[in-house]
A and B are shown apart, each in its own frame.
Chain A
Amino acid sequence: MPAVVLRGVSKRFYFYEHRTSSLREWFIRRVLRRPIHVRRAAFTLHDVDLTVGRGEAVALLGRNGSGKSTVLRLIAGIYQTSSGTVRTEGRITAVIELGAGFHPELTGAENIALYAAVLGLTRRELAERYDEIVEFAAIPDLPDTPLKYYSSGMEARLAFSVAVCLQPDILLLDEVLAVGDQAFRERCLQRLRQYHARGGTLVLVSHELEQLRELCTRAVWLDQGRIRMDGPIDMVLERYREQE
């Protein structure tokens, strides 16, 4: 079975316009039977079919608002589909926002434990990987310093280190590869290549096309919530560059 299967997936979001600004108006609208809330639907994804094989590395391309992050959130199970089905096999780690579970008052070590718990790890699993995480982040005095004294780059590094050291079966990354300095980025890429070589499945969203080319073999181009093109990355990138 493939790692990820999306079949006929659509995602509709609702926006609520609150028409009533005062109680008086509310009463008037009630009496006249005018609408009180206006619910507008906006499609983000239209009938998307996507299969990601185990051990594949797939890049998601597209402009802002084309639905890339929505695809990742649907795969991760954060959003429910409006129609269609999503099936996944194996443990998923999604890094949509770096350091989402972090708390500024807690130390690096405490934040690692919290973030790992959010991602569903048991204490024993964390203990096995803790040293690796700290080593990979390579931040001096990391364990005992409260997070608020970190620079934003260091905070991102810590979050990224936790995510890549967890060794999930499926790793989803949303524009988070642009963190840290050049040296750290190089190590991140190295790490992801290693993860991929060991058979990990990878779905990447990024606007740094060269980086995508380095890591992925296949690309999916999303345009206004539909798949415009799906194929070998060189081919898709070439067309994408022509069009955009």
Chain B
Amino acid sequence: MIGALGRMRGVWRYRELLHSLVVRNLKVKYQRSLLGFVWTLVNPLFTVAVLGVVFSHVVRIPLPHYWAFLLSGYFVWNFMLQTLNTGTYIFAEHSRLTRSVAFPSEILVFGAAGSRLIEFAVEVGLVLGVLAIFHHHVVPESYLVLPVLLLIQLLLVIGLALPIATLSVFYYDVYHALPIALTTLFYLSPVFYPAGMVPAAARDLYFLNPIAGLLTLYHDVLYWGRMPSPELLGGMLLAAVTIYLAGYALFRRYAAIFPEIV
């Protein structure tokens, strides 16, 4: 615990690098692309459209404004998916750097999460507006909880991405296995159906998946426009902090030998 805090101080000294990495990630992604950010939106919107048609006309999920439900959770899922996938190759991609400069290498993971978070912030900003105008017809008070959700989301994604990235340094298998795991998780998370449809008997097991809790929070706040229950919010905050600290601890155990292996 104290070791983790000491290490975080080391990271703070390198905040300039974090900033540079975030800027680099975004610049490299969007330059030489005429439509730029539009592509980042098109991909998830296309999936949302397909899911919307299938689950409101073929398999019917009985929710008013089903498209609004999809929008309120899909971007969160997409954020988790992309950031966790980045974890599988981030250290391999920066192997030359890790081998020739001494710096806290978790910054690479923070940088990847940071640049994705900025994209997500723009996406969710648009979703907030669209839902307020076409779904709620007012700006719901629950939007105020959003910063807490962002914090939970960030702690969760880093807490999961760090061990994934650590394992990937030793086993390439992670690179192949993670997409399969995430595809499975897509069906086991409330992305296109509400968590309330899960049978009560299985719900405890279901919510062992922290992404399920995160998406339910977003559904409460964005789709239903209601304050999430303090149990869910507090529980998720606690879970996110725990996962973050545990993930960081695992990473810390092995980080010192990365330069010898990558």
Inter-subunit contact B19/A118 (CB<8 Å): no
Q: Would you list which residues of chain B between 85 and 124 have a CB under 8 Å from chain A?
A: 96-97, 99-103
Tell me, rounded to whole Å, the shortest Cβ–Cβ distance linking A208 to chain B.
20
Chain B residue with Cβ nearest A97: B100
Inter-subunit contact B259/A117 (CB<8 Å): no
Cβ of B42 under 8 Å from chain A: no
Inter-subunit contact B101/A101 (CB<8 Å): yes
Inter-subunit contact B99/A78 (CB<8 Å): yes
> Bound complex: CA of A168 vs CA of B28, how far in Å?
30
Cβ of A50 under 8 Å from chain B: no
Q: Would you list which residues of chain B between 2 and 37 have a CB under 8 Å from chain A?
A: 13-14, 16-17, 19-21, 24, 27-28, 31-32
Cβ of B260 under 8 Å from chain A: yes
Tell me, rounded to whole Å, the shortest Cβ–Cβ distance linking B122 to chain A.
21
Tell me, rounded to whole Å, the shortest Cβ–Cβ distance linking B92 to chain A.
14
Inter-subunit contact A117/B20 (CB<8 Å): yes
Q: Name B259's contact: one of A79, A92, A114, A122 (CB within 8 Å).
A: A79
Inter-subunit contact A96/B99 (CB<8 Å): yes
Cβ of B63 under 8 Å from chain A: no
Cβ of B256 under 8 Å from chain A: yes
Cβ of B144 under 8 Å from chain A: no
> Bound complex: CA of A96 vs CA of B99, how far in Å?
8
Q: Name A114's contact: one of B13, B14, B24, B256 (CB within 8 Å).
A: B24
> Bound complex: CA of A27 vs CA of B97, how far in Å?
38
Inter-subunit contact B16/A100 (CB<8 Å): no
Known: A94-B102, A105-B31. A80 touches B256 (CB 8 A): yes
Size of the A side of the interface (Cβ < 8 Å), in residues, is 27
Counted as pairs of residues, one from A and one from B, with CB atoms less than 8 Å apart, the total is 67
Cβ of A13 under 8 Å from chain B: yes
Chain A residue with Cβ nearest B25: A103
Inter-subunit contact A101/B27 (CB<8 Å): no
Inter-subunit contact A13/B260 (CB<8 Å): yes
Cβ of A90 under 8 Å from chain B: no
> Bound complex: CA of A195 vs CA of B32, how far in Å?
40
Q: Would you list which residues of chain A between 54 and 76 have a CB under 8 Å from chain B?
A: 73, 76
Inter-subunit contact A94/B100 (CB<8 Å): yes
> Bound complex: CA of A123 vs CA of B14, how far in Å?
11
Cβ of A165 under 8 Å from chain B: no
Which positions in A face B, CB cutoff 8 Å? 13, 73, 76-80, 92, 94-97, 100-101, 103, 105-106, 110, 113-114, 117-123
Can you list 17 pairs linking A and B with CB atoms under 8 Å apart?
Answer: A77-B102, A78-B101, A78-B102, A78-B259, A94-B100, A97-B100, A100-B99, A100-B101, A101-B97, A105-B32, A106-B27, A106-B28, A114-B24, A117-B14, A117-B17, A119-B101, A122-B16
Other than the known A76-B101, A120-B14, what 7 A-B pairs have Cβ atoms closer than 8 Å? Answer: A78-B102, A79-B260, A95-B100, A97-B96, A105-B28, A117-B21, A118-B103
